[in-house]
Amino acid sequence: MAMAIPCLHNTKSRMLDCGQSSPFLAGAARMVSEVDIIIIGAGSAGCVLAERLSQDCDRQVLVIEAGARGKTPTISVPAGFVHHFNSSRYNYCYRSEPEPELGQQRVYQPRGKGVGGSGAINAMIYVRGDRRDFDDWAAVSSPRWSYDAVLPYFRRLERHHSEDTRYHGRDGSIGVLSTRDSAPELCHAFFAACDATGLPNNHDFNGERLDGYGFYDMNVRAGLRSSSAREYLTPALKRSNLSLMTQTQARRLVFEGRRAVGVEVACGGERRTIKARQEVILCAGAVDSPKLLQLSGVGDAKALARLGIDSVIDNPRVGQNLQDHLCGSLFFESREPTLNVTLGRLTGKLRAGWDYVSRRQGPLAFGVKHAGAFVPLEGTGLSGHGEHPVQESGDGHAKAQVFFNPISYALPEEAGGRLVLHRHAEVSLFYNVCRPYSRGSVTLKSADPDDAPAIHNRYLSDARDKAELLAAFRQVRSLASAGPLKDILVDHRGYADMHSDEAILDDFRASCGSIYHLCGSCAMGTRLENSVVDPSLKVHGAEGLRVVDASIFPNITSGNTQAPTLMVAEVAADIIRQSWNT
């Protein structure tokens, strides 16, 4: 890995907010007309890149962010994420196009808008994924993306609670803390049920193996959300060669021939072009990175022509290969108190507040997803994974992820824009297939940058996904009736009577939703014919242009996608800095 290049710091950060009316800030924004490197998007990946690349004092780095710089406690306090499920201030609040296999539902898909991106509004669960996920990346791209090759980058970004330095870093920027000390007692009943069904205990989902049950790790440090915005970007903004423009929308990339030389932005009511002497790096995420490429003429030339967009690079793969984790939910009444009951009382609220203020523990310090499991699935009869093979079912490989939530609530879209706790004691078990086969797309509806793109997830369009989710449903149903859970949980929704595949699928369609893990829409590979970026994350056929975010995943990882997104940015930073010396 490349060594850090020390850079002198200023006492004043260069943050330009084009959404404010101050003539000084507006004037400062107009003065930024050319830099060496433009990073589009101050999300999880963009903030890491900004810090790493600005370590070289000789290069001027500019980060352009469409949203604001959120300083609200609801972003900083871990449990505050519930306030941003449906808030357009920090969230694009996208919806998919009608999904044929889900009864034409338009699935809600929040994406972070503002400094920190989705990493500022997510549930902070830190799961790297399975070794085989990254070995599959390497198989279609380069050995530098294998598990053994990327493990040092995971370690580099972590300030992890574990003493196991073989798998974890202790001196990195991102705080990683286990939920173990704050988990409600019901989590231990869930663990006993896992034991009763033969699942192994796993004390570290980010260690030697993924399968088994245990406590989740979270991106939390000192009781606060540990995002790349807080840990990477904020301290780096003290450097004189790093600037941040907020409330500035990137509308199109500017090309000279096939070389990206800048970006057209809308800022403070005006449009102008900012030039990049060296590189433009897209870090806008799995929806907006392919959208911006297509708006700029990089995509399916025939489709772009129908919208009146001139083609720069004809690549029909741009926006394809979209993947996500689709989640099912099982709800059970509980004979033991759950968080929705305790937090629904004044005494419970006061205790949670005191636990957080005095000890940085309790529900406010982590949220509600403390415990879970990664389970194999029996009886699916599946043996391959398309371009990205995985081992057969029944070999112990984690095929489904389970979240045990000792709480019950209505999501904002169901409750008028705010999260509402149910009054009765209830637990929920969420489950999803780890490596779905279905592939979707992100495409333009028009040539207007202000229009949201069309998101077609095509959930369950591959029959193998249905087979796996049916097995996952039955696995979770078994857990809910095993060990001590059998005497605690009440099957008031009649899951035990759902015997046919169609009955289970009907229940799944009624309760399912995205877990917000969109990725893969600018997939990495070796050829323009089957991918968008090469193993160095350069856009095929273009010069001076890379994509660095979750859109480059060739295949989705077996778990939450925040950790691998941070890792991708760390790897990309070394690739880019090494290119400066060649």
Residues annotated as part of the active site: 517
- Here the contacts of 351-360 (C-beta below 8 Å, separation 24 or greater) are 356/77, 356/223, 360/222, 360/223
Cβ(233)–Cβ(87) under 8 Å? no
CA atoms within 13 A on the CB side of 347: 2
> How many beta carbons lie within 10 A of that of residue 581, not counting itself?
6
Q: Tell me how far apart the alpha carbons of residues 487 and 505 are, in angstroms, rounded to a whole number.
A: 27
| CA pair distance 581, 579, nearest whole angstrom | 5
Helix 562-579 vs helix 147-157: crossing angle, to nearest 10: 100
Q: Which of 336, 330, 368 is nearest to 491 (CA)?
A: 330
- Residue carrying structure tokens 């710089």: 69
The continuous run of DSSP H or E covering 156 comes out as helix 147-157
> Residue 491's CB: how many other CB atoms inside 10 A?
16
> Which residues have a Cβ under 8 Å from the Cβ of 148 and sit 6 or more positions away?
none
CA atoms of 205 and 213, how far apart (whole Å): 8
How far is C-alpha 88 from the chain's CA centre? 18
The span from the CA of 202 to the CA of 212, in Å, is 5
Q: Which of 508, 350, 535, 332 is nearest to 428 (CA)?
A: 332
